[in-house]
Amino acid sequence: MHNLKGRVALVTGAARGIGRGIIEAFASAGANVVVNYLDDASEAQSVVDAVTAYGGEGIICQADVSDRAAVERMVKAAVERFGRLDIAVANAYYSKRELVIEAKWEDVLRTIEVTQFGAFHTCQFAAQQMVKQATSGINDDVMINKPKGNGKIIIISSVHEEVAFATAAAYNMAKAAVSHLARTMANELTPYHINVNIINPGWINTPGERTFSSEEELLKGGKRIPWGRMGMPADIGQAALFLASDEADYITGTTLRVDGGFLGGLRLPE
């Protein structure tokens, strides 16, 4: 079992869905967590309650990740509370499904600001803190379960990075961009032994999917995936837990697709 005892993780967009799945996986491995949320404090608090049940400690932190100053404050709040930051997961996103010729600019801009710029803000401020820890001796002084490296950054991208699905142009653009951001940061941060990796989820059963599909459509669609079901937040959580663990020490700049064979199972129309 992966051990994150004593480590501190920040996950954006963590009040529900994939973010919550990641938080719960980290908490089950002993991490203390910062639960970022946008507008539902009660949902975020329920995640912290789940963390407490695992024996860990969590705090909630409201921030719109498209607001650069708010993200900077959130990272500082994590360090003020726990003294350090070991793991950061850029998960928050926004998506509006529209054909390019019909897309409203405000929807396109919001998608880019949250999904792309929000990931940049999160990763940059987290990396700055991790480099500071790596060069100041903090990792040596206060860690009982000292990690092999000096930090783990994970970007939750999407299979939309790989396939340009219709009605998702802005989201496709943003996910392709953040994946390349992760690869760039992986190259830049290797001297500090800070790992940066990407997870590409497939079709995951989250509350957000109900914005676009009915329960019947989700059930029917899930059966068409080669694995026979939609992915669950816990599936992404376990992938993130592995990448955040010491067992992934030699992995950086890599994309882990977690899709139940979704892309491999795509077929031409009959």
Catalytic sites, residue numbers: 171
Please report, for residues 86, 129, 198, 219, 220, the alpha-carbon distance to residue 185 in angstroms, rounded to integers and kept in the order given.
Answer: 16, 14, 11, 38, 39
The strand ranges marked E within 193-260 are 194-201, 255-258
Collapsed DSSP state (helix, strand, coil) of residue 160: helix
3-state secondary structure 82-115: HCCCCEEEECCCCCCCECHHHCCHHHHHHHHHHH
End-to-end CA distance of the chain: 44
Distance CA 17, CA 232 (A): 8
Contact 139, 146 (CB under 8 A): yes
